[in-house]
Structure 1
């Protein structure tokens, strides 16, 4: 099969580090070297000023519970229509990147705008993979998602407004993940898209530890594509997450049609604790709010056929290069505001339990904390209600974290600010054991004077502050980086499991009440 070289997101010949709108595309210190004549990434940041129309989506008539693969394919086709053509990836009008993803060890590289993801250890992607792999990715949001990104980041020279982290129904995101693996290491990558990107070499150690390893141009191949959709039919979370793998054995002439669905999930199913310490790829019949592709469990006779060596924890939905002690949904659910008044790792909400390096060592007593369902919108974090979730957007969380690394004294970098809105939201301090009826009363009391049409989707959304993300370190996706060491460790000492369970139950009740409130509008 012929290998394909593609250009990603080249929307002009400019090599300017910052666009006219002001958000930089990459750090100037990591820009093109002297004499470089190749393509240069440009951040797509002309975010919509007004809410885009709520037109029907192709997957609206597809039930992700009964037709998960068909639902995922409809979402993928929609996203690809706006981000690719026969010659590669092109950010067409109406698709946008998130800003502030440039700084730190995992920040954007200059040629394609890729950010560093979690590295893959030997034989974690394929039995023939004899060394570590660097994995890098670029994500885009459609107009509805771009509208929310633009509200949070309305001023390139000012602080974020995380209280606007509330994506409308139908908001869609897609992520293209590339790896340094060769077809000799991962045979099913034969014929995949190849690009040249400015990333780290195989240094035999963490390239982010001092002294940082210099980046270099390397060949990378498309291995995984993730999609996410804000869908109110996912009543507990408001989101559906799915992932695809490139399959070199697929006969389709178009590369994009060789992407095979791996898994989809719309609920963390924290009540299902079976097989939490089982390693490898398997179907867990106890999980009913997600789907994994059983056809990918075993290698086929064709060495170019894709297969996976693991899913997420307990058999939950996850991508082939993602962290097996997490899952797509649980990792993104941990996107939350930071608190720069705290020290070190405690500033950022961890995506996985601190210090856990394998499935067999997963601390069962912390499972409910990391896999509890989180209502959509800008809602309190169950065990730390002074923090707020960022509606499953790790891109927002990482961007705000990066901003706070440079503006630590900004009020937006403190969990207690800005001040609550005039209609104070329900807080755990005032109603730690709120019943469903109490939640209904609170939702009715809060009301919404805001005429913004997106508000109708998230009645369970409250205004406040923000920061965090799917940034590098011990997160489920990205590797460690000195600045916010071990993104794990947001807590000192073991968590209070009983309290966490109670607060997660309260959040579940709030989410259910909010869905009922939305359905009456």
Structure 2
């Protein structure tokens, strides 16, 4: 089965994959879509495991809730030709405070991220993330495998696929090491209502309008999405990770500084390097506002949270900035603002917002706005029946029609700006829902090519 490239695309690009692999399936061959969609992890923990155990939070609200969103009461401008971080700092801090409410500021391994806040479930997970055995959820904290990064990336270089370089990483026998990214995304109750409508407990994606739209979308006002991104790099390899989290994860077995056996898993340690947040804001030209925060262990703060600092804010793709327009007509960015920060960063295309382990030729908004699914039960193939949001010819390097479409602003339920992909279902920027639709198709479609590893439950 064809596998799509896994990339952490700004805020919430999680596991948009066409393949599904597993090490030791936890479910039987007769598992139905509901079982596969709502499974906790690819593999069950061993019988003697006494550490944290991930449990899928999937009791989505049955009726659309009302969620307090104090950031929507912040006075910010989406049209200021000279935007500044000072105008937006309080807006982002209000979201950060909401996200961290009732969490241990050091996120110890034994607790992880709590889904309940003051006795009520605040955070919910997307189904179908534990079917892909190669990259699907692991059993300790529910992390999925994304982009891998090389050390040079942390100095502004390019990415690898599935593994990453971090800036400032120490070479191993003269080799630039590759690290893996393991992440978990969550939605608050307003966003979770939409999740439960789009992927009910049957596990079968639900649509309206004759199959053209996903049920429950767009995400309502008050929706908050977060993603915690962790790297297999530690402070010995990357000094500014000093004092970060020290989570266990059932990750891939590393066989050399640059190689991993992706069909074999073993418990390893991962460390928070980035946190992404996104909220619905009807004032935005895309309905969304994104921010990404980076961990800086050189800061004097007493907790992990206090050493997590925002890189900036983005609410659009800056369609009047290169490569959406020719260089000679390009204007400075107006829909991305950088926060002052003293960390090695590459940002995204032409300075658009992207995090330290994100794709440097894209941006948070540009990638997520391209979240579409093929019709239910049909495999999505990027560039064929769904947009190519991870890579295409000349991405970020030339003014082309593809770049014009990719770096443009549009709102749900608009089709992709190029006018192609007429049957694609818009998913209101949710790459996780795109994964869910795709994994359902994988599970119910005979593969053209055999998977790299056995799917979970098979």
Question: Into which bin does the TM-score normalised by the smaller protein fall?
Answer: 0.7 to 0.9
**For 1:25-174, what aligned pairs fall within 5 Å after superposition?**
25-27=39-41, 30-63=43-76, 67-81=87-101, 84=104, 87-88=107-108, 89-92=113-116, 93-104=121-132, 105-125=134-154, 126-129=167-170, 130-161=176-207, 162-174=214-226
Q: CA deviation at 1:257?
A: 1.6
Q: Which residue in 2 is equivalent to 1:252?
A: 301
Q: 1:165 to 1:131 in 2, by over 3 A?
A: same
Gaps of 5+ in 1: 1-15, 279-283, 297-306, 410-480, 484-521
Q: CA deviation at 1:206?
A: 6.9
- Higher strand fraction: Structure 1 or Structure 2? 2
Matches of 1:363 and 1:314 in 2, distance apart?
A: 12
Matches of 1:164 and 1:84 in 2, distance apart?
A: 32
Q: CA deviation at 1:61?
A: 1.9
**For 1:335-374, what aligned pairs fall within 5 Å after superposition?**
335-339=371-375, 345=382, 346-354=384-392, 364-374=400-410
Q: CA deviation at 1:380?
A: 2.2
Q: 1:43 to 1:371 in 2, by over 3 A?
A: same
Gaps of 5+ in 2: 1-25, 79-83, 155-166, 171-175, 208-213, 454-458
What is the RMSD of the two structures over their aligned residues, measured on CA atoms? 3.0
Matches of 1:240 and 1:396 in 2, distance apart?
A: 18
Q: Which residue in 2 is equivalent to 1:289?
A: 335
State the SS of the aligned residue for 2:341.
helix
Q: Which residue in 2 is equivalent to 1:324?
A: 360
Match of 1:400 among 414, 417, 437: 437
Matches of 1:260 and 1:183 in 2, distance apart?
A: 18
1:273 aligns with 2:308: no
Matches of 1:54 and 1:392 in 2, distance apart?
A: 20
For residues 353-377 of structure 1, what are the alpha-carbon distances to aligned partners after superposition, in whole Å with 9 as ceiling and x for unaligned?
A: 3366x86x6674421122121213x
Are the aligned partners of 1:59 and 1:75 in contact in 2 as well (CA < 8 Å)? Answer: no
**For 1:106-505, what aligned pairs fall within 5 Å after superposition?**
106-125=135-154, 126-129=167-170, 130-161=176-207, 162-203=214-255, 207=260, 212-234=262-284, 236-273=285-322, 286-296=332-342, 307-339=343-375, 345=382, 346-354=384-392, 364-376=400-412, 378-382=413-417, 383-408=420-445
Q: 1:160 to 1:110 in 2, by over 3 A?
A: farther
TM-score when normalising by structure 2: 0.73
Q: Which residue in 2 is equivalent to 1:468?
A: none
Q: 1:343 to 1:55 in 2, by over 3 A?
A: closer
Larger-Rg structure: 1
Q: CA deviation at 1:186?
A: 1.4
Q: CA deviation at 1:44?
A: 0.6
Matches of 1:271 and 1:285 in 2, distance apart?
A: 6
For residues 51-82 of structure 1, what are the alpha-carbon distances to aligned partners after superposition, in whole Å with 9 as ceiling and x for unaligned?
A: 11254424522426552222212111101116
Q: Which residue in 2 is equivalent to 1:438?
A: none
TM-score when normalising by structure 1: 0.65
- Higher helix fraction: Structure 1 or Structure 2? 1
Q: 1:314 to 1:134 in 2, by over 3 A?
A: same
For residues 366-410 of structure 1, what are the alpha-carbon distances to aligned partners after superposition, in whole Å with 9 as ceiling and x for unaligned?
A: 21122121213x33223223213200111111111111111249x
Are the aligned partners of 2:324 and 2:399 in contact in 1 as well (CA < 8 Å)? Answer: no
